[in-house]
Amino acid sequence: MWIVRWIFTAVIVLIILGFALQNTTEQVSVVLVRGLYETGPLPIWVIVYVSFALGVVFWLFMSIFQVFALKAEVRKANIRNTKLRKELDNLRNVSVESDIELLQEPESNPEQEAREI
């Protein structure tokens, strides 16, 4: 499995390198806000890589907030689980005799016992 991962990584690196080498002469400028900010002419591969890096950073921040939210949810579930376990343990320790009235055995009749034998 590790060899497949390394081959996949090598192919991706070669594709990225090929893209960068084919676009070395293309120059573009980026206008973020019309009249407010504009870059000078930059190679297109720089623009693509910078936008990819910004996307990765944005994804990182969003995933950090999602991880915190999921950890809080797990913490709440663990607290609830602990409470339910304590309740279950308390219910297991309750005496059965305290809730059920024991039926008293009828007094034995010697005549009946003699007939049964």
For the chain, 117 residues long, give each residue's pLDDT as a single digit of tens.
878 888 888 888 888 888 778 877 888 888 888 778 888 888 888 888 888 889 989 999 999 999 999 999 999 999 999 999 998 888 887 765 555 554 455 565 666 656 655
24: CB partners within 8 A, 6+ apart: 43, 45
What end-to-end distance do the CA atoms of the chain give, in Å? Answer: 79
66 domain-assigned: yes
Residue 9 belongs to what domain range? 2-92
25 domain-assigned: yes
Q: What is the pLDDT of residue 19?
A: 79
Report residue 80 as tokens.
Answer: 């609830």
Q: What is the pLDDT of residue 70?
A: 95
114 domain-assigned: no
57: left (phi over 0), alpha (psi -120 to 50) or beta: alpha
Number of domains in the chain: 1
79 domain-assigned: yes
Q: What is the pLDDT of residue 102?
A: 47
